[in-house]
Structure 1
């Protein structure tokens, strides 16, 4: 079952309340998304740590409800 973009955004913002989140459906199928996440919580983390934090926020849905998610993460400038 596909996952809605709004649900992805909700889960990310639940974990990172002040985050700026942009979700794009890459294939129009509800299975392949790109997400850009800018969050203060990422300050001091390297990119791998940032992306792991986002995947953790998705609470195990990667590979099941959510097939693919291309991530761009950063701390605010």
Structure 2
């Protein structure tokens, strides 16, 4: 059974509390998503380390229940308002 976008977002925010998450269903099938995750906690981390943090937040769901995730990570820009 596919994961809902809201469930993916909730898992990421549970693992990375300050994250701002945008989820897009790429195929309309609930199985192929794109996620943009912005977090201050990514500052100073390599892109690979940022993505590993997101995958860790998703637990063992990647590759199983969650089939495909196109992932973009970033730190907040200097002019972005804090949440």
Q: 2:12 matched to which residue of 1?
A: 12
Structure 1 segments, 4+ long, off by >3 Å, are none
The two structures have a TM-score, normalised by structure 2, of 0.90
Unaligned runs of 5+ in 2: 78-83
Deviation at residue 19 of structure 1 after TM alignment: 1.1
Alignment size in residue pairs: 77
The two structures have a TM-score, normalised by structure 1, of 0.97
Residues 49-71 of structure 1: CA deviation (Å, up to 9, x unaligned):
10011001001101110000000
| Mapped partners of 2:53, 2:2: distance in 1 | 22
Q: RMSD of the alignment, in Å?
A: 0.6
Q: 2:65 matched to which residue of 1?
A: 65
| Mapped partners of 2:53, 2:6: distance in 1 | 19
Residues 16-46 of structure 1: CA deviation (Å, up to 9, x unaligned):
1121100000000000000000001101101
